């Protein structure tokens, strides 16, 4: 989810509040960042995430989405984000509707500090295989435009055995989709009911991974 610290319309804590009110128990705020905004946004999102967890009993995750940066900068900025306390590192993939630099998908799936490659468009089988090898999740997107590549992402993930997530890419409360829509988007991408059920398991898995890292670094709240 994206707050008005980047291109959303709500404070991070407001966005979390709407998510909690809609019944969600786990929420990740992953604002768009680059070299210039990385440190400030991580600090500000972490403050609201801690506030939400303290008072609402939600599992709130402070993340970033490295967006439209040079492909060669993916690895160093992902490592920097992790060092600054980002709990979830997403890379803005080669969506069909933006001029993301070619090579960004490959850089992301090759980087151990990346958790998710978002909307990777025409991702190749080789890149999907690297995602599997490196434990990086590929995103099926509900966002208009980004969703144009969902069918290819699903097909490449299936062939490679890479793990998928279905994400809202929410920028406003209206983007907080019901579970029924997520299932329909998955089916529209060509996924079977069994594969969609596995995506729910993947969501629990990545949440568990994040919480293990949080506890290991002494950042438990």
Structure confidence by residue, pLDDT tens digits, 94-140: 999 999 999 999 999 999 999 999 999 999 999 999 999 999 999 99
Mean pLDDT of 160-165: 98
Distance between start and end Cα atoms, the chain: 21
**Looking at the 3D structure of the chain, how many domains does it have?**
1
pLDDT at 150: 97
pLDDT over 80 (residue 59): yes
Identify the CATH number of the domain in which residue 171 sits.
3.20.20.140
With pLDDT > 90 as the criterion, what percentage of the chain qualifies? Answer: 83
pLDDT at 146: 93
Could you tell me if residue 125 is inside a domain? yes
Distances (CA, A) of 101 to 68, 79, 107: 7, 20, 11
Could you tell me if residue 194 is inside a domain? yes
pLDDT over 90 (residue 61): yes
- Rounded CA-CA distance 107/143 in Å is 23
Which residue's entry shows tokens 């998955």? 186
Give the rounded distance of the alpha carbon of 123 from its chain centre: 16
pLDDT at 171: 56
pLDDT over 90 (residue 175): no
Could you tell me if residue 103 is inside a domain? yes
What is the three-class DSSP state of 69?
coil
With pLDDT > 70 as the criterion, what percentage of the chain qualifies? Answer: 94
Cβ atoms 135, 161 nearer than 8 A: no
Which residues constitute the domain of residue 41? 12-216
pTM more than 0.85: yes
Mean pLDDT of 71-93: 98
pLDDT at 180: 86
Number of Cβ within a 10 Å radius of residue 60: 28
Question: pLDDT, tens digit, for every residue of 193-221?
Answer: 999 999 999 999 999 999 999 999 876 55
Average pLDDT across the chain, whole number? 93
What residues pair up with 62 in beta bridges, in sequence order?
Answer: 29
- Rounded CA-CA distance 47/17 in Å is 14
Could you tell me if residue 168 is inside a domain? yes
pLDDT at 168: 67
Could you tell me if residue 3 is inside a domain? no
pLDDT over 80 (residue 68): yes
4-13, 27-36, 83-92 — which is least confidently predicted?
Answer: 4-13
Could you tell me if residue 36 is inside a domain? yes
């Amino acid at each position: 989810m994206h707050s008005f610290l980047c291109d959303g319309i709500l404070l991070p804590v407001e966005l979390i509040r709407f998510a909690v009110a809609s019944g969600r128990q786990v929420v990740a705020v992953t604002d768009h960042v680059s070299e210039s905004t990385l440190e400030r946004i991580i600090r500000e999102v972490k403050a609201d995430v801690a506030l939400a967890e303290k008072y609402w009993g939600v599992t709130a995750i402070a993340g970033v989405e490295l967006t439209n940066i040079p492909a060669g900068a993916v690895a160093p900025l992902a490592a920097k984000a992790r060092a600054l306390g980002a709990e979830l590192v997403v890379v803005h993939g080669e969506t069909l509707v933006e001029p993301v630099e070619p090579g960004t998908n490959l850089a992301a799936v090759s980087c151990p500090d990346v958790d998710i490659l978002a909307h990777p468009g025409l991702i190749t089988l080789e890149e999907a295989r690297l995602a599997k090898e490196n434990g990086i999740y590929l995103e099926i997107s509900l966002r208009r435009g980004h969703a144009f590549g969902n069918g290819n992402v699903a097909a490449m993930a299936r062939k490679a055995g890479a793990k998928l997530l279905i994400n809202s890419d929410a920028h406003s409360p209206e983007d907080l989709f019901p579970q029924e829509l997520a299932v329909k988007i998955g089916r529209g991408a060509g996924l079977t009911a069994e594969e969609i059920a596995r995506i729910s398991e993947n969501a629990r898995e990545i949440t568990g991974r994040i919480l293990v890292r949080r506890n290991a670094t002494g950042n438990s709240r």
